[in-house]
Amino acid sequence: MPCSMFKLLIRPLLFLLPAETAHHFTLGLLKIILMVPGKKAIFRWLYCVNENRLNKTIFGLNFPNPVGLAAGFDKNAEYIDELACLGFGFIEIGTVTPLPQPGNEQPRLFRLPKDNALINRMGFNNDGAEKIAQRLKQRKSKIIVGGNIGKNKQTPNEKAVNDYVKCFDILFDHVDYFVVNVSSPNTPGLRELQEKAPLLHILNTLQLRNNARPARKPVLLKIAPDLSQEQLNDILEIVQASKIDGIIATNTTISREELKTEKTALEKIGAGGLSGKPVKEKSTNVLQYLYENSNQQIPLIGVGGIFSPKDAKEKIEAGAALLQVYTGFIYEGPALVKKICNELLQRER
């Protein structure tokens, strides 16, 4: 489906529905369509770019292309086989917590069409690590899957490390890499775990368990775009000290600066993390700072405001080894990944 058709016909209809309803409806419909014999092959022909020049080996994993789907889109690993037909080089599930939890009250996902943005306060709604692990066992596609892990809302911060360890142990045999999420603004107090001492404790504990395994898994850290330069320097020290494998820059922002959406509408929506075009510059600045101040030694995944091949190029030039999309995928449609991959191929000629 070309981007123009999606924007003119499909998106306006989906945007008539509440955001979360539209999300579940679309993924459910995709699953039904791809049950029809031959449809998966057609979707792969439409959306996948199979070209060896796109292959990238990062932290020991061979990615068929550098464009991934960010965490939050397929929280419960229900649609991996279907999403693998849309051209992604990898998919990140979660955020997964040890115990199932419903998340925050609905509505909790909001569109800001004037800003090409979303605000969410989902609150780590997920089926829990055990159920998600069982679902991962049953997937058929070989696409690289990352496990984004967090703590349950009721777990106090001083015991947060236990939740990360539980998720790590339960998911270890079923994902290709891990992401430690301490940067969501939608779990009370979670971002306090980005401070140096608690974060180093969590990462060191996970690394001890990781290194005790016969074959370890890459561990990454997902950070907020709202960190100060001093905090980013702390992050670089923590990564070096814990010897984790990379950083995802960035999660959503709590900022509401320079939005076109009316202030009254924003006040009505209330709290939540902002994603999409408004976070692009802030995320790219964080990415570039980390790249330049790590002597280009830390693999970085760039996410935040990627709506076009041009946006993807900016992230790569700022230091991203890999990319992730989420809000741009919702606004631009399934052809976005192929467009980015084709542009990356053009650059190599």
For the chain, report the end-to-end CA distance as a whole number of angstroms.
26
Q: Is the dihedral of CA 132, 193, 251, 338 positive or negative?
A: negative
CB burial of residue 276 (10 Å; 0-12, 13-18, 19+): buried
Q: Quick one: DSSP state of residue 16?
A: T
Cα 126 to chain centroid, rounded = 15
Residue closest to 335 by CA, chosen among 62, 63, 127, 88: 88
In the numeric block, the tokens 């494998």 are attached to 245
How far apart are alpha carbons 26 and 23 in whole angstroms? 5
CA distance 107 to 243: 39
| Beta-carbon contacts of residue 108 (< 8 Å; ≥ 6 apart) | 20, 120, 121, 122, 123, 272
Told to judge if 184 belongs to the known catalytic residues of this protein, a careful annotator would answer yes
Task: Return the CA Rg of the chain.
Answer: 19
Set 4, 141, 183, 184: catalytic member: 184
Q: Is the dihedral of CA 24, 190, 182, 313 positive or negative?
A: positive
Task: Determine the pLDDT at residue 349.
Answer: 59
Q: For residue 179, what pLDDT is reported?
A: 98
pLDDT tens, per residue, the chain with 349 residues: 666 778 889 999 999 999 999 999 999 999 999 999 999 999 999 999 999 999 999 999 999 999 999 999 999 999 999 999 999 999 999 999 999 999 999 999 999 999 999 999 999 999 999 999 999 999 999 999 999 999 999 999 999 999 999 999 999 999 999 999 998 988 988 889 898 999 999 999 999 999 999 999 999 999 999 999 999 999 999 999 999 999 999 999 999 999 999 999 999 999 999 999 999 999 999 999 999 999 999 999 999 999 999 999 999 999 999 999 999 999 999 999 999 999 999 976 5
